[in-house]
Amino acid sequence: MVTEVAAEDIEEVDPGTPEEGEEPGPPPVPRHGPPAPSVVVVLLAIALVASVVAVFLAVFAFGLSGLQEQRSQHLLYAEFRGLLDPSSPVAPSIGGVIPQGTPVALITAPQAGLHDVVVVEGTSSGDLLDGPGHLPDTPLPGQRGESLLLGKSATAGSPFGKITGLRRGDVIEVRTGQGAFRFTVIDRRVVGDRLPKIPGGGALLTLVTSAGSGGLGRLGPTHLVYVDARLDGKTVVAPPHRPTTVPPDEIQGHNDPAAWPYVGLWLLALVVATVAGWRLWARLGILRTWLIGAPVLFGILWGLSNEAMRLLPNVY
């Protein structure tokens, strides 16, 4: 037999109402900051930062470093043209021990896409971020002997990226503090080929860069390429006290290991900035944190990438 119970006899219980004698708890507070730190969250954050760094390094190497090189070339061109002015109280450097980064020549080779490109003294990876460089223990173009100019083929604007297109008979013009010189291309070679013979009392100009499809995955170029050109005309006198040796980082195909400590410092700055951004996110929200942190992050990534470029081979 089923007993019917009236609806009014059933006591409704509110699940959200505390029982008699129990104090109500605080209402839940919605979370607006970053997720609570945990192993998974920290690992995801590290992966995100590493991805951002890797992408920025690639963008810097093949894009932003070219803009930086163009700005450096603009400033160096103005400086060198000023030194060539007869009214300048300071003469351009033509030999001896020349400070690294000093503009020493202008090079033009239309077939290689070179038009009044400034050549600086020094051939380390850092020096070549500003443009082609002159190997210090060789004479300047136009002086007796073989002058070596190194340039990048893929990064920092790739100023020497098209010199492999030079052919026998093409003309290379160089202007230094000792005048204008005309060179005629005589050969293009790779490592292992027969070295060109320097004519007695004459001068050679050798352009050096990298070639091949090595890519960043192989941390360097496939091989080095040399383009040799002979001076048309007479040589000029080289001042004494030219360096007889150069550090290993200035030799073609080498990098600059001295950049590692600076890369480490920039990475430390990136870690500090990331932690600070995490804390600001919890206090100010993501929008304000982004407005404050984005310029700082961009500056750190730029500095890190600039130093990391020195770890690539100097002609890459």
Segment 161-180, tens digit of pLDDT: 999 999 999 999 999 999 99
Is 7's pLDDT higher than 50?
no
Residues 157, 67: Cα–Cα separation, whole Å = 7
As a whole-number percent, the residues of the chain with pLDDT over 70 amount to: 85
Is 2's pLDDT higher than 50? no
The confidence score (pLDDT) of residue 45 equals: 79
- Is the sign of the CA dihedral 253, 129, 163, 139 positive or negative? negative
Domain covering 46-77+95-316 in this structure, CATH number: 2.40.260.10
What digits encode the pLDDT tens for the residues 246-273? 999 999 999 999 999 999 999 999 999 9
* Mean predicted lDDT score pLDDT of the chain: 88
Instruction: Quote the CA–CA distance of 295 and 298 in Å, as a whole number.
Output: 5
User: Could you give the angle at the alpha carbon of 261 between the alpha carbons of 256 and 267, nearest 5°?
Assistant: 115
Report whether pLDDT(155) > 90. yes
Q: What is the pLDDT of residues 200-226, one digit of tens each?
A: 889 999 999 998 765 444 444 578 999
Task: Answer whether 143's CB lies under 8 Å from 160's CB.
Answer: no
Look at 35 and 63; give whichever has higher pLDDT.
63
In the chain, where the domains are located:
46-77+95-316
Cα separation, 151 vs 198, whole angstroms = 22
**Residue 9 dihedral angles phi and psi, to the nearest 5°:** -85, -10
Task: Specify the residue for token string 């070679």.
Answer: 189
CB 96 within 8 A of CB 240: yes
Say if strands 223-231 and 114-121 run parallel, antiparallel, or are unpaired: unpaired
DSSP state of 15: T
For the record, the structure tokens of 109 come out as 């080779």
> What is the Cα–Cα distance from 125 to 49, expressed in whole angstroms?
26
Q: Kindly report the number of other CB atoms within 10 A of residue 196's CB atom.
A: 16
- With 60 as the cut, is the pLDDT of residue 17 above it? no
Q: Which of 151, 153, 107 is nearest to 133 (CA)?
A: 151
Helix segments in the chain, DSSP class H: 39-59, 65-84, 260-284, 286-308
Prediction pTM value: 0.83
Q: How far apart are CA 285 and CA 20, in angstroms?
A: 40
Q: How confident is the model at residue 283 (pLDDT cuts 50, 70, 90)?
A: confident
